[in-house]
Amino acid sequence: FASRDGPKPLAGRHALVTSGPTHEPIDPVRYIANRSSGKQGHAVAAALADLGARVTLVSGPVTLPDPAGVRVVKVETARQMLDACAAALPADIFVAAAAVADWRVAAEAGQKLKKDGSGPPTLVMAENPDILASLSIPGPQRPGLVVGFAAETNDVLAYARAKLARKGCDWIVANDVSPATGTFGGDRNSVHLIRLHGDPQSWPDLPKAEVGRRLAAAIADHFASGKS
Ligand code: CTP
Ligand code: CA
């Protein structure tokens, strides 16, 4: 990393980042999960740390190494991720890059579900808390800059703008996850940065590490311009 010894415009700032999937248990051996490697969220955390931020990375189950110089809190479920984020506040910056499972099984079975001849089980689902929307609620604990991700497959910009408004965040990184882009699990990403104020920026087909660096640089610019 060339920037490791470079300028530290985010020194003194605390950045909270979520990354990876969540796992929602069905029983002791099975779970529901989203498709996410954590590569993009971890890259954002690493890039924010390179710019001098104190970084707390709340990560679901991933196979990646912990980024250097970052405090990593490991969780499994969406509810644990929300609790870990709430415990890490206050923060100046919140970046929600995790692929949080929208639903969980309402009542996790205490024992392994068995094929007992009566047919497949019916799973009753409950909605998980929305971590991004929760941390976007105005108040003294709200991070000064809240950035969400939106994985979309068609009409990427329109869906992302709607999501920005619905979640109450400041920026959305709209991620084109159409199968042709090979985003999931891959090392590259095609994104648009959409801000409440300002024109969208398109960053097509970049290494995820570079997307992380550009996002961290945009965040540093935001604070440098006194909009904190
Ligand atoms: N997110 C979150 N908590 C959730 C769901 C999503 O923090 N329970 C965050 C993600 O980390 C991401 C953003 O919200 O930054 C958008 O996630 P996405 O799944 O695209 O949005 P949803 O509101 O869940 O809408 P959809 O129906 O498209 O899945
Ligand atoms: Ca979702």
Q: Is residue 80 within 8 Å of 42, Cβ to Cβ?
A: no
Nearest CA to ligand 1 atom 21: 150
Q: Is the ipTM of this complex over 0.85?
A: yes
Looking at residue 176, what is its pLDDT? 83
DSSP string, 36-98: --SHHHHHHHHHHHHTT-EEEEEE-S-SSPPPTT-EEEE-SSHHHHHHHHHHH---SEEEE--
Residue 4 has a pLDDT of 72
Residue 30 has what pLDDT? 97
Which among 35, 31, 26, 24 has a CA at the least distance from the CA of 123? 26
The reported pLDDT for the residue numbered 53 is 98
- Among protein residues, the one with the nearest Cα to ligand 1's atom 12 is 149
| Gap from CA of 1 to ligand 1 centroid (Å) | 30
**Measured from the CB, is residue 94 less than 6 Å from ligand 1?**
no
Known binding residues for CTP are 102, 112, 129-132, 149, 163, 167
* Whether the Cβ atoms of residue 208 and residue 42 lie closer than 8 Å to each other: no
Å from CA of 224 to ligand 2 middle: 32
pTM for the structure as a whole: 0.95
CA distance 57 to 121: 36
Question: For ligand 1, atom 9, which residue shows the shortest CA distance?
Answer: 132
For residue 78, the ligand closest to its alpha carbon is 1
pLDDT in tens, the chain (228 residues): 556 788 999 999 999 999 999 999 999 999 999 989 999 999 999 999 999 999 999 999 999 999 999 999 999 999 999 999 999 999 999 999 999 999 999 999 999 999 999 999 999 999 999 999 999 999 999 999 999 999 888 888 899 999 999 999 999 999 888 776 666 667 888 899 999 988 899 998 899 999 999 999 999 999 999 865
Give the pLDDT of residue 227.
61
Ligand nearest, relative to CA of residue 44: 1
Cα of 97 vs centre of ligand 1, distance in Å, is: 9
Q: Whose CA is nearest to atom 3 of ligand 1?
A: 130
- Residues contacting 113, CB < 8 A, separation 6+: 26, 27, 30, 121
Instruction: Kindly give the distance from the C-alpha atom of residue 150 to the centroid of ligand 1, in angstroms, as a whole number.
Output: 7
Q: Is 8 exposed, middle or buried (0-12, 13-18, 19+ CB in 10 A)?
A: middle
